[in-house]
Copies of this chain bind each other. A is one copy, B any other.
Amino acid sequence: MEYEKLLASRTKLMEANAIREILKVVSKPGVISLAGGIPSPQSFPMDIINEIVQKVLKNYSSSAFQYDLTEGFMPLREQLSLLLKTRNIKSSPESINVTSGSQGVLDSIAKLLISKGDKIALEAPSYLGAISAFNPYEPEYIRMDMDDKGLIPQSLELALINHKIKFIYLVPTFQNPTGRTLSIERRKKIAELIIRHNALLIEDDPYSALRYQGEDIPPLKTFAPDNVIYISTLSKIFAPGLRIGFYAAPDFLSKWLVLTKQGVDLHTSTFNQALAAEYLKGGYLENHLPKIKALYKPRRQAMINAMEKYFPDNFTYSRSDGGMFLWVQGPQDFDMIDLYKKSVDNGVAFVPGKFFFTDKTEGINTMRLNYTMADEATIDYAVKKIAQSISQCD
């Protein structure tokens, strides 16, 4: 059979996730990876998992293993409502829906909203997982500028004036890939803009709970509740393998997103949702989150210290108070792909930043470094090795 002929036209936009392809190199034995975008397994609450499982079996018994509502397992939605309250978002349990990771809601949003050629406004660079959720629906991307304080509001305003934007997609706090956080002043300004332009904004917030210093900044959703779909996940504060994402959206969109998800996977694992409910309910998260932060905070500091120590002065990085990444910029025209190849040969991997830009000419001199997967000594050693590779690049 000639299978190629069967593919739908949309598949031309579906490329293998470049990062995953790059990570294949990383699995070479002996290579230290600062390329990952995943939490450390040491951050998982393994010591209490069994206790949580026993509570689930006792409290929910067979109902934790049965089909459940597409909207989500109600005891979890109740807990998520309380969690969002701590982030200043007022959402009833009924208006919070659970998805199979935050990827699940990105897919549903794309399926529900994007017609071919619709314009999506993205900050440059952007989160790759979102782009891979949007691509199959054949949108056009409108890029917006960002700096160390996140998206530049004037750039959003220009996009809204010059284009019919279907929605804006942002990771406003500790962004992947840059680690940057949108300042509160800009959040207010952006809220004002989207309200004035009747624009919908997707606020993807996987990282805000991982703040190592500085003060919490309220989500964009709090400044423009009717214009924002707020997305978050338990992947970084519980366990990613359980695939628990969630969102709070305006009611009309929620109803449709649930209908969309029904055709995709019926519902998210009941058992895993029950585990998450007990994790939140039992005060486990409250006790465990400080341990996760205590694990990552010195790793971040070790990376900053090592860059200060080893990197040339014309290499700069974004200040970031939390999350999982630091973003490095080399001198203009410095080719990070070239550095990447040298660096992997020298035993250290990272992600060249150009992969995070929809404009293929951008970001050639940037890289993303992850600090959650390696300990402080390894980070120091790895950054030193990268610096050595940099010195081979003239």
- A-side residues, CB < 8 A to B, are 1-4, 6-11, 14-17, 20, 38-39, 41-42, 44, 46, 49-50, 53-54, 57, 61-68, 100-101, 103-104, 107, 111-115, 118, 129, 132-133, 135-137, 166-167, 198, 200, 226-227, 235, 239-243, 250, 252-253, 256, 259-260, 262-272
Residues on the B chain within 8 Å of A11, using CB: 112, 256, 260
Q: What's the number of copies of this chain in the assembled complex? A: 2
Which of B6, B103, B198, B267 interacts with A264 by CB under 8 Å? B103
Q: Which of B4, B65, B226, B267 contacts A41 (CB 8 A)?
A: B65
B265 near A7 (CB under 8 angstroms)? Answer: no
Q: Which of B8, B67, B100, B115 makes the CB contact (< 8 A) with A115? A: B8
B residues in contact with A16, CB < 8 Å: 259, 262
Which chain B positions have C-beta within 8 A of A262?
16-17, 20, 132
The one of B10, B46, B240, B253 that contacts A111, using a Cβ cutoff of 8 Å: B10
Q: Which residue of the partner chain B has the closest CB to A62?
A: B41
Q: Residues of B contacting A6 with CB < 8 Å?
A: 113, 166-167, 200, 253
Q: Looking at A1, A241, A260, which has the most chain B CB atoms within 10 Å of its CB?
A: A241
Residues on the B chain within 8 Å of A265, using CB: 100-101, 103-104, 107, 243, 265
Which residue of B is nearest A275, CB measured? B271
Known: A113-B6, A256-B7. A46 touches B67 (CB 8 A): no
